[in-house]
Amino acid sequence: MKNSARLTLVAIAAIGLMGAGCAKKKVAAATPPAPQAPAATPARQTPAATPARPTPAPVERAAAPPASRMPTAAEKARIETLLARIEDAYFDYNQHTLRPDAIKALQADSTELRDIISQYPDYKLTIEGHCDERGSEAYNLALGDARAKAAKDYLVGVGISTAQLNVMSYGKDKPICEDHDEACWQKNRRIHIIATK
């Protein structure tokens, strides 16, 4: 009996163990421990992005005032004085080519005139062509125009801008002498330079 009791006991123990192995265990869900903060190690510093600096507004420099395209009153007076000094250029009867004395008259002050007015591109001069009383109105207007153009060509040749030189023919309409002889007629066959108003 000792043996059978032992066997029974072992069988009961085995069944108990088997029953216990099949039963579901209720295990309390353990929450995982919070991670421990690592020991204070120097944090790797990444270069901080430099804050965007506002682009400075371009410095506006005071623009130089545009060069005047017209002379001052003082410069105009200087030009007027120079024009008064330039003698009229005279022509032979029925001719429009510049004589040597006409070239000399234009040559005397034309370079100074060029140097002044080249600084003022909007300033203009008018070259007037004149004739004596002989011939028709139409013929003298054409001859006066040809005389003015001959003087203009000379002045352009010394460096005065063609854009600053106008021509105007008065033909026989503005004589400076009204006698009816060669001495008077010679005074009327001329070109005269004025500032354009």
Percentages (nearest 5) of helix, strand, coil residues in the chain? 40, 10, 45
The pLDDT value given to residue 69 = 83
Residue 192 DSSP symbol: E
Global pTM value:
0.65
pLDDT at 172 over 70: yes
- Do the bridges between strand 89-90 and strand 125-130 make them parallel or antiparallel, or are there none, so unpaired? unpaired
- Number of helices and strands in the chain (H, E): 5, 4
Model confidence at 71, in pLDDT bands (50, 70, 90)? confident
Task: Categorize the per-residue pLDDT at 36 as very low, low, confident or very high, splitting at 50, 70 and 90.
Answer: low
Rounded to 10 degrees, the C-alpha dihedral 158/160/163/169 comes to: -70
